[in-house]
Amino acid sequence: MCRWLAYSGSPVLIEELLYKPKHSLIDQSLHSRLGATTTNGDGFGIGWYGLGGTPGLFHSVEPAWNDRNLRELAGHVSSPLVFAHIRAATGTPVQQTNCHPFRHGNWLWMHNGGIRDFQVVKRDLVLAVDPSFYPEIEGSTDSETFFYLALTLGLKEDPPKAVQDAVGFIEATGRRHGVTHPIQMTVATTDGESVWAFRYSSEGSSRSLFFSTEVNTLRMLYPDDARVQMLSDEARLVVSEPLGSLVGAWNELPESSWGVIQPGRDELHSFEPAKAAVPA
């Protein structure tokens, strides 16, 4: 499927996130350990907040491991909030408009997993997208349709509710078409301030998702580690798989849960798809 990373904290050069860690996302593009596929070479994307009215996007159809422009960008752009995604396509074409993260105004969205039998349910799902959002759908992935369903269901007002409603609707639609386990997902979304992360699958066996331990705790655990001591208080990472093997640094998000990284106290809740969500 895919692998992704979300960072929120003090501004860092993007290469610190993508290239420097031992089992970095770039390394995962060739050698994923926990993913459904070991190679994630069907394009990639990054989104970052900084200058400009909306987050910046860089999408490429080339494998991340050898993309020179990605390395240049990562080495010359710094940001306090970065989304990065490497893709292993599952049927839809390898093209920039199918690369994550997707953007709508100030929001970013990325997804690992899939809507099962998407070709069967796609028309019903797309029809449920608000007509005002419809023309913005540029690619052909399940992930982008999922994003616009969530927007239709109020992502900008209440992200956890909107995603739980969208998943409820996708499950109801899939089951109506005879799909047993309609969705498999880890999702990250952000408005540029908070980052919401979701882990869920209809079959109760979801793709892996980890978040980094709070920096205060890490500092106490590793009083002599210069790299850890340098991290800002608020720095947090959410990742498909740990970027290294530092003991105590990574916590798995529980099955069927969501969390939010935000100014103030972070939160963790259980994820419950809406039973009968029907977009108006």
Binding of a copy of itself at residue 90 (CB under 8 A)? no
Binding of a copy of itself at residue 52 (CB under 8 A)? yes
Instruction: Identify which of residues 109 and 198 has a Cβ nearer to a copy of itself in the complex.
Output: 109
* CA–CA distance, 171 with 167 (Å, rounded to integer): 6
Site for a copy of itself in 189-228 (CB under 8 A): none
Note if 2 is an active site residue.
yes
Q: What is the DSSP letter of 135?
A: G
| Among 27, 30, 194, 214, interactor with a copy of itself by CB under 8 A | 30
Both structure tokens of 151: 């927007």
| Among 4, 48, 83, 196, interactor with a copy of itself by CB under 8 A | 48
Number of residues engaging a copy of itself in binding (CB under 8 A):
47
Say whether 150 sits in a helix, a strand or coil. helix
* CA–CA distance, 201 with 186 (Å, rounded to integer): 8
Among residues 112, 90, 116, the alpha carbon closest in space to that of 100 is found at 112
Site for a copy of itself in 125-164 (CB under 8 A): 126-127, 131, 134-135, 137-140
Q: How far is CA 131 from CA 149, 156, 218, in A?
A: 11, 17, 47
Both structure tokens of 170: 């996708």
Say how many C-beta atoms besides its own lie within 10 A of residue 275's C-beta.
10
Binding of a copy of itself at residue 36 (CB under 8 A)? no
Point out the residues that are catalytic.
Answer: 2
Site residues, a copy of itself (CB under 8 A): 13, 30, 38-39, 41-42, 48, 50-52, 55-63, 66, 68-69, 72-73, 75-78, 89, 93-97, 119-120, 122-123, 126-127, 131, 134-135, 137-140
